[in-house]
């Protein structure tokens, strides 16, 4: 960076990178930044962060250019890769001995880039090689898996490409990327030696950079050309700033040629109105220029040149955000909203609160459970059948593999976990459930009210139902019902305007046994959304 | 009132029964016999009398031997080994025949065979027949049979060495005897007790106030028994709101008072509303922070507004409102894919594109969201999110900072805030806000930003929209003083009944 900074200003420095200071280790002088922005991969390297902060601190100004000499190297791209992994960019960096610290940082940038921005290597993967072992031109082609054999990095035996996918750890990790293809991409040098098998693994003989090497061949392949070019640019800047001398590599596609790295900077026009409109700041041209230059842009009569290591700028607002960051958020005076608006909650919320208030008045303790549950809890233990549940395809844990359809099982679970707590246990939960009727999915607010003590019975549940409906002014009827989880003859369904909206009764001893509950339980569950619809109609 | 008088009037009917009986040192059993009260009633009376300083009560424990369920049966009938021997009286039998003849269970059979072989009474031959080989040891009564005929309960200390051995043998068998610890009380009257007794305890006091007493007026001129107001009473628990929900309601009330209107959306969302309509590109790392749960059936929605889908697709592919877009091929099928809502912001594009949107307007939502994540002390399967937006012509980043300051005042009771650059895929610029709470120190309050024009233009909104979100779980934990996020959804009734109301 060319500047000493204090430990306390590290925190401020991190904010310019849209991150937080993770920690600073005094002993090793190592700083960790935790970065938020997944769209600014150039900051995933010490060189990128230093470059940004040099601008912020005024050590350098404006768009930084790097020197690249014309190289006599080429990569020949065979037509066969066009359907598999069509794009490649490359360059050569010479003249600087690498040490272990440098290799570590280089690998960190490589891995973070390929993993995040490169979509776990699918979109972009990067290879670094010791230049002196490679004979140019390098060719990039697709080959039948069994036709190419080489020793992959970290192994001592030769394998063909399918064997690598099956047996090499990286093959197991990234083989899925190639599963739909019959031929796989390979990079081969002028001697016919394999450099690598992108995006899986490099060769053991050519595919590594070691301490003491001073010349590097960089290559990046992928399925999205702008991302491939961006990766090459980010590495070119990083290596150039590390003191390497860069040389171009000519990529020869069957139909065109591309000299890499492509350090072209795009331009974008912004307006003063846009700056004023978005930030509420009236900046003079000279101020605007200064701020943009601190952030590594160049600014010329409202035309902004974007550094080649950034691909996140889509809209003038992206540039203007950087103006605000360079200006310092804390320097921007705040303004209060002035227009009047009256607040109101969802119509159902007021109704729900009335219902809860009535039930709490009866002495019930409210609970709140996760909405995700599982079929064993919802149906098996409750001795009842699934009549339509939203299930998760890719659940992490079977415990949370479906969206709940009713709430009484949640209360049963609570009772089962509190067998040694004072009775009576009177609990309720009010919350959302989701029901699925074939292809139709709907959310409902429900309430389940449960009472457990030695005298808990149907009468108690019915008393609660009648009290609640009386308070809400809703008329209802109950009909005897056979429900697997309630004792026959002590079970009823609740109807309002001929619509079935819930049930009440004594939980069957079989269900209690399934939950390991040793006290009688009386339960009442109602669809609050349905009650609300009725109450609205009544009004 | 004189102490003695006070004490006389405070005696419970049980105490009045027991006190006169304490003419020497008495044990529970004596008092039960003499008073005709139950064991528990005598114990309670002694406890109360002791508490009042009228009686000295010494508690000591002793061990008592009782017959258990099998033991009671064997005492009535006979021991399994006896029945085994009886069955063999008429000659050798197979084990199955013995079982049928004696009616012993498998377990009883096994025990009997073991005991009788050890005593050398029976033998099982190569022909698998069981025969009696030596009747001597079982000709008379067995020690264990003698033991079972005793009168239970027995004081353990009253047993001799030999009887203790017999007891150990029986204890090793299932359900014959058990040794219980009994707390005994020995009580003697204290001088104060004698004084009370002398003063007369046969006072006519009213014990409970009953409707009859009130109606008839029979209470007039009489005293009521005085209660020991310090004695323990059983705990009761009231109905109450769940602690975290109560906090969420408070947040809702604050937002309503600031003029925000509540919005809602479904739990099962489409990728369209959840991400695409927010201008989050389909194939980009920006999307990785939202690992979604995908719905099994139905996989795809059939009711998305197709005209809007086309506009969003165009914005993603080649931009809108001066943007170059994400430059990739938008997958229309994927946008219909059902997911569980991963973020509350999924509701914003629904409202922004709705004809009911009011400009200027302030909106909020508080909803449950779901992400593919491991559950631990800092992550839940479900979590609550609170967020919203402000839409108004002419508002800008300065208003956004003003809004964040307002939130800091309302939710963290402070004017000290730090607004720093942040990244959200759908806002530009984006900011995070930290607030210095008077008690809690610096806390991350939430995030905010101005919705990108590429997001709002396809939805038909040209005015600037400030989006915001509050880190409500963290705020709730701070407020409720909780360390583990799972306590927000606690199922521990003791905790739920006692967690502080804040």
- Domains A267-330 and A347-538 belong to one CATH topology: no
**In b/e form, how buried is each residue of B361-396, taking b as 16+ CB within 10 angstroms?**
bbbbbbbbbbbbeebeeeebbbbbbbbbbbbbeebb
B245-265+343-498: CATH class: alpha beta
CA atoms within 13 A on the CB side of A45: 27
Binary contact (B429, A418; C-beta < 8 A): no
Residue A76, pLDDT above cutoff 90: yes
Candidate from B296, B321, B397 with C-beta closest to A393: B296
Binary contact (B372, A361; C-beta < 8 A): no
B67-178: CATH class: mainly alpha
- pLDDT (mean) for B186-209: 87
pLDDT of residue A86: 96
What CA–CA distance (Å, rounded) separates A509 from B115? 41
- pLDDT (mean) for B464-469: 97
Candidate from A40, A116, A403 with C-beta closest to B267: A403
* Encoded tokens for A507: 């939980």
Binary contact (B491, A369; C-beta < 8 A): yes
Please report residues of A whose CB lies closer than 8 A to that of B420.
15, 329
Chain pair A-B, CB pairs under 8 angstroms: 256
- pLDDT (mean) for B410-424: 89
pLDDT of residue A316: 96
pLDDT of residue B444: 85
Binary contact (B267, A391; C-beta < 8 A): no
CATH T-level assignment (fold) for domain A68-260: Phenylalanyl-tRNA Synthetase; Chain B, domain 3 (3.50.40)
Q: What is the DSSP string of A429-491?
A: EEEEEEEEETTEEEEEEEEEEEEESTT--HHHHHHHHHHHHHHHT---EEEE---TTEEEEEE
pLDDT of residue B350: 97
Q: Which of B278-282, B300-304, B468-472, B473-477 has the lowest mean pLDDT?
A: B473-477
For chain A, what's the residue count? 539
For the segment A195-206, what is each residue's pLDDT rounded down to a tens digit?
999 999 999 988
What is B3-60+182-224's CATH number?
1.10.10.10
- Mention every residue, 6+ apart, whose C-beta is less than 8 A from residue A268: A303, A304, A306, A313, A316, A319
- pLDDT (mean) for B16-42: 90
Query: Strands A365-367, A267-269: parallel, antiparallel or unpaired by DSSP?
Result: unpaired
Residue B29: pLDDT band with limits 50, 70, 90:
confident
Q: How far is A148 from chain B (nearest CA, A)?
A: 32
What CA–CA distance (Å, rounded) separates A395 from A392? 6
| A334, A351, A449: best to mutate for the B interface, most B CBs within 10 A | A334
Please report residues of A whose CB lies closer than 8 A to that of B406.
336-337
* Encoded tokens for B460: 């038909």
Q: Looking at the complex, does the CB of residue B495 fall below 8 Å from at least one CB of chain A? A: no
Binary contact (B392, A337; C-beta < 8 A): yes
pLDDT of residue B285: 62
Residue B1: pLDDT band with limits 50, 70, 90:
low
pLDDT of residue B286: 54
For the segment B276-307, what is each residue's pLDDT rounded down to a tens digit?
999 999 976 656 656 889 999 999 999 999 99
pLDDT of residue B474: 86
pTM: 0.81
Please report residues of B whose CB lies closer than 8 A to that of A434.
267-268
Q: Looking at the complex, does the CB of residue B401 fall below 8 Å from at least one CB of chain A? A: yes
Does A347-538 carry CATH code 3.30.930.10? yes
A7-56: CATH class: alpha beta
pLDDT of residue B290: 61
- pLDDT (mean) for B463-475: 93
Q: Nearest-CA neighbor of B361 among B330, B399, B327, B392?
A: B392
Binary contact (B423, A39; C-beta < 8 A): yes
Residue A449: pLDDT band with limits 50, 70, 90:
very high
**Angle formed at CA A315 by CA A312 and CA A316, multiple of 5 degrees:** 115
Q: Nearest-CA neighbor of A340 among B447, B257, B449, B351?
A: B257
What CA–CA distance (Å, rounded) separates B223 from B232? 24
For the segment A20-68, what is each residue's pLDDT rounded down to a tens digit?
888 888 888 888 888 877 788 999 999 999 999 999 998 999 999 999 9
Binary contact (A279, B497; C-beta < 8 A): no
| A10, A112, A339, A352: best to mutate for the B interface, most B CBs within 10 A | A339
Residue A293: pLDDT band with limits 50, 70, 90:
very high
**What is the four-CA torsion angle of A356, A362, A368, A374, rounded to 10 degrees?**
-110
Burial of A257 (C-beta count, 10 Å sphere; 0-12/13-18/19+): exposed
What CA–CA distance (Å, rounded) separates B210 from A527? 43
* Encoded tokens for B398: 């300065």
Which residues is B382 bridged to in the sheet?
Answer: B370
Binary contact (B464, A277; C-beta < 8 A): yes
Residue A515: pLDDT band with limits 50, 70, 90:
very high
Please report residues of A whose CB lies closer than 8 A to that of B261.
341, 343-345
Binary contact (B249, A393; C-beta < 8 A): no
Residue A11, pLDDT above cutoff 90: no
- Return residues 233-272 of B near A (CB < 8 Å): 235, 237-242, 244-245, 249, 252, 255-264, 266-268
Binary contact (A277, B396; C-beta < 8 A): yes
- The mean pLDDT value of chain B amounts to 89
For chain A, the domains span: 7-56, 68-260, 267-330, 347-538
Residue B14, pLDDT above cutoff 80: yes
- pLDDT (mean) for A163-186: 93
- Domains B3-60+182-224 and B67-178 belong to one CATH topology: yes
| Chain A, nearest residue to B324 by Cα | A314
Q: How far is B39 from chain A (nearest CA, A)?
A: 24
Residue B163, pLDDT above cutoff 70: yes
Please report residues of B whose CB lies closer than 8 A to that of A276.
396
Please report residues of A whose CB lies closer than 8 A to that of B403.
337
Binary contact (A353, B249; C-beta < 8 A): yes
Contact between residue A268 and residue A316 where contact means Cβ atoms under 8 Å apart = yes
Phi, psi torsion values for A202, nearest 5 degrees: -85, 170
Please report residues of A whose CB lies closer than 8 A to that of B392.
337, 339
Find tokens 């009236």 and name the residue: A282
| Sign of the alpha-carbon dihedral angle for B197, B200, B202, B205 | negative
CA atoms within 13 A on the CB side of B494: 6
Candidate from B358, B374, B489 with C-beta closest to A368: B489
**What is the four-CA torsion angle of A350, A352, A353, A359, rounded to 10 degrees?**
150
CATH of A267-330, one of 3.30.56.10, 1.10.357.10, 3.40.50.300, 3.40.50.2300: 3.30.56.10
What CA–CA distance (Å, rounded) separates B384 from B365? 10
Contact between residue A184 and residue A143 where contact means Cβ atoms under 8 Å apart = yes
Whole-Å CA distances, A300 to A227, A271, A289, A306, B39: 27, 12, 8, 12, 101
Residue B501, pLDDT above cutoff 80: no
- pLDDT (mean) for B341-347: 95
* Encoded tokens for A55: 């601008």
pLDDT of residue A27: 87
Binary contact (B493, A365; C-beta < 8 A): yes
Q: Looking at the complex, does the CB of residue B392 fall below 8 Å from at least one CB of chain A? A: yes
For the segment B83-136, what is each residue's pLDDT rounded down to a tens digit?
988 888 888 888 888 888 888 888 889 888 888 888 888 888 888 888 888 888
Residue B159: pLDDT band with limits 50, 70, 90:
confident
Q: Looking at the complex, does the CB of residue B359 fall below 8 Å from at least one CB of chain A? A: no
For chain B, the domains span: 3-60+182-224, 67-178, 245-265+343-498
Q: Which residue has the higher pLDDT, B470 or B232?
A: B470
Binary contact (B453, A317; C-beta < 8 A): yes
pLDDT of residue B288: 61
Residue B2, pLDDT above cutoff 70: no
For the segment A383-398, what is each residue's pLDDT rounded down to a tens digit?
999 989 999 999 988 9
Whole-Å CA distances, B78 to A254, B142, B148, B174: 103, 11, 9, 15
pLDDT of residue B426: 93
Q: Nearest-CA neighbor of A415 among A335, A516, A500, A484?
A: A516
Candidate from A317, A318, A337 with C-beta closest to B402: A337
CA atoms within 13 A on the CB side of B94: 5
- pLDDT (mean) for A215-222: 95
What CA–CA distance (Å, rounded) separates B399 from A39? 26
| Sign of the alpha-carbon dihedral angle for B141, B142, B146, B149 | negative
Query: Strands A425-437, B441-451: parallel, antiparallel or unpaired by DSSP?
Result: unpaired
* Encoded tokens for A109: 């940038």
Binary contact (A39, B425; C-beta < 8 A): yes
């Amino acid at each position: 960076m060319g500047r000493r900074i204090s430990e306390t200003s590290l925190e401020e420095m991190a904010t310019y990178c849209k991150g937080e200071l993770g920690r600073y280790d005094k002993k090793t002088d190592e700083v960790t930044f935790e970065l938020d922005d997944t769209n600014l991969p150039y900051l995933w390297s010490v060189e990128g962060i230093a470059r940004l902060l040099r601008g912020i601190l005024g050590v350098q100004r404006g768009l930084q250019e790097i020197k690249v000499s014309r190289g006599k190297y080429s990569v020949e791209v065979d037509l066969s890769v066009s359907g598999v992994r069509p794009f490649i960019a490359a360059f050569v960096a010479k003249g600087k001995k690498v040490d272990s610290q440098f290799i570590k940082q280089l690998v960190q940038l490589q891995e973070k880039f390929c993993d995040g921005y490169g979509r776990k290597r699918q979109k972009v993967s990067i290879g670094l090689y010791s230049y002196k072992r490679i004979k140019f031109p390098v060719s990039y082609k697709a080959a039948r898996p069994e036709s190419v054999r080489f020793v992959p990095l970290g192994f001592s035996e030769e394998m063909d490409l399918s064997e690598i996918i099956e047996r090499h750890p990286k093959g197991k990790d990234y083989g899925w990327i190639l599963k739909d293809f019959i031929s796989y991409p390979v990079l081969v040098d002028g001697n016919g030696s394999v450099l690598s098998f992108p995006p899986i693994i490099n060769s053991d003989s050519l595919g590594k950079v070691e301490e003491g090497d001073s010349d590097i061949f960089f290559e990046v392949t992928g399925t999205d050309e702008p991302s491939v070019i961006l990766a090459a640019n980010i590495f070119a800047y990083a290596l150039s700033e590390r003191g390497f001398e860069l040389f171009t590599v000519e990529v020869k596609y069957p139909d065109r040629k591309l000299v890499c790295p492509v350090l072209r900077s795009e331009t974008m026009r912004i307006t003063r109105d846009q700056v004023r409109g978005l930030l509420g700041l009236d900046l003079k041209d000279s101020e605007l220029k200064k701020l943009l230059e601190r952030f590594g842009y160049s600014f010329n009569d409202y035309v902004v040149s974007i550094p080649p290591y950034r691909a996140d700028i889509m809209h003038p607002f992206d540039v203007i955000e950087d103006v605000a960051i360079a200006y310092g958020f804390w320097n921007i005076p705040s303004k209060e909203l002035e227009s009047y608006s009256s607040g109101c909650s969802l119509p159902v919320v007021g109704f729900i609160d009335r219902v809860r208030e009535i039930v709490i008045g009866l002495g019930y303790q409210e609970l709140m459970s996760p909405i995700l549950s599982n079929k064993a809890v919802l149906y098996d233990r409750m001795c009842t059948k699934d009549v339509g549940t939203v299930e998760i395809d890719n659940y992490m844990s079977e415990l949370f593999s479906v969206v709940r359809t009713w709430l009484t099982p949640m209360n049963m679970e609570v009772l089962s976990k509190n067998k040694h707590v004072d009775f009576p246990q009177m609990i309720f939960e009010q919350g959302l459930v989701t029901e699925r009727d074939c292809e139709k999915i709907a959310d409902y607010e429900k309430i389940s009210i449960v009472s457990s003590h030695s005298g808990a019975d149907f009468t108690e549940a019915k008393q609660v139902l009648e009290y609640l409906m009386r308070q809400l002014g809703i008329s209802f009827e109950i009909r005897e019902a056979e429900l697997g989880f309630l004792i026959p003859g002590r079970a009823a369904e609740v109807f309002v305007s001929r619509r079935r909206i819930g049930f009440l009764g004594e939980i069957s001893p079989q269900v209690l046994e399934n939950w390991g509950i040793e006290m009688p339980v009386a339960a009442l569950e109602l669809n609050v959304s349905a009650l609300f619809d009725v109450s609205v109609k009544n009004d | 009132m004189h102490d003695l008088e006070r004490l006389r009037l405070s005696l419970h009917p049980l105490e009045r029964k027991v006190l006169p009986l304490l003419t020497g040192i008495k044990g529970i059993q004596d008092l039960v016999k003499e008073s005709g009260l139950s064991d528990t009633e005598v114990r309670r009376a002694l406890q109360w009398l002791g508490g009042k300083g009228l009686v000295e009560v010494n508690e000591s424990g002793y061990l008592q031997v009782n017959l258990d369920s099998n033991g009671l049966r064997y005492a009535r009938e006979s021991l399994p080994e006896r029945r085994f021997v009886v069955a063999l009286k008429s000659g050798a039998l197979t084990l199955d025949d013995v079982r049928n003849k004696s009616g012993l269970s498998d377990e009883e059979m096994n025990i009997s065979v073991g005991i009788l072989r050890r005593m050398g009474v029976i033998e099982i031959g190569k022909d698998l027949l069981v025969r009696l080989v030596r009747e001597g040891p079982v000709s008379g009564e067995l020690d264990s049979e003698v033991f079972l005929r005793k009168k239970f309960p027995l004081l353990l200390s009253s047993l001799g060495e030999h009887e203790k051995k017999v007891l150990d043998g029986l204890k090793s068998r299932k359900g014959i005897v058990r040794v219980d610890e009994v707390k005994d009380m020995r009580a003697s009257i204290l001088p104060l007790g004698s004084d009370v007794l002398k003063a007369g305890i046969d006072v006519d006091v009213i014990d409970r106030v009953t409707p009859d007493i009130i109606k008839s007026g029979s209470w007039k001129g009489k005293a009521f028994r005085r209660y020991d107001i310090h004695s323990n009473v059983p705990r009761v628990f009231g109905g109450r709101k769940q602690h975290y929900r109560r906090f969420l309601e408070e947040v809702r009330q604050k937002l309503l008072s600031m003029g925000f209107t509540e919005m809602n959306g479904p739990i099962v969302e489409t990728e369209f509303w959840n991400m695409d309509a927010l201008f989050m590109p389909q194939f980009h790392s920006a999307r990785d922070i939202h690992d979604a749960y995908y719905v099994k059936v139905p996989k795809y929605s059939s009711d998305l507004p197709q005209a809007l889908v086309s506009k969003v697709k165009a914005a993603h592919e080649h931009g809108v409102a001066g943007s170059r877009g994400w430059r990739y091929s938008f997958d229309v099928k994927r946008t219909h894919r059902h997911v569980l809502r991963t973020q509350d912001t999924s509701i914003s594009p629904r409202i922004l594109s709705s004809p009911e949107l009011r400009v200027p307007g302030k909106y909020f939502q508080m909803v449950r969201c779901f992400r593919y994540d491991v559950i631990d002390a800092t992550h839940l399967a479900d979590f609550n999110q609170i967020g919203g937006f402000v839409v108004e012509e002419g508002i800008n980043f300065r208003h956004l900072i003003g809004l964040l300051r307002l939130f800091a005042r309302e939710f963290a009771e402070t004017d000290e805030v730090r607004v720093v650059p942040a990244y959200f895929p759908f806002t530009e610029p984006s900011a995070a806000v930290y607030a210095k709470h008077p008690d809690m120190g610096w806390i991350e309050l939430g995030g905010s930003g101005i919705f990108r024009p590429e997001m709002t233009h396809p939805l038909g909104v040209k005015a600037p929209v400030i989006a915001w979100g509050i880190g409500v779980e963290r705020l709730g934990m701070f407020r409720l003083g909780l360390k583990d996020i799972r306590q927000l959804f606690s199922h521990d009734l003791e905790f739920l009944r006692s967690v502080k109301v804040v």
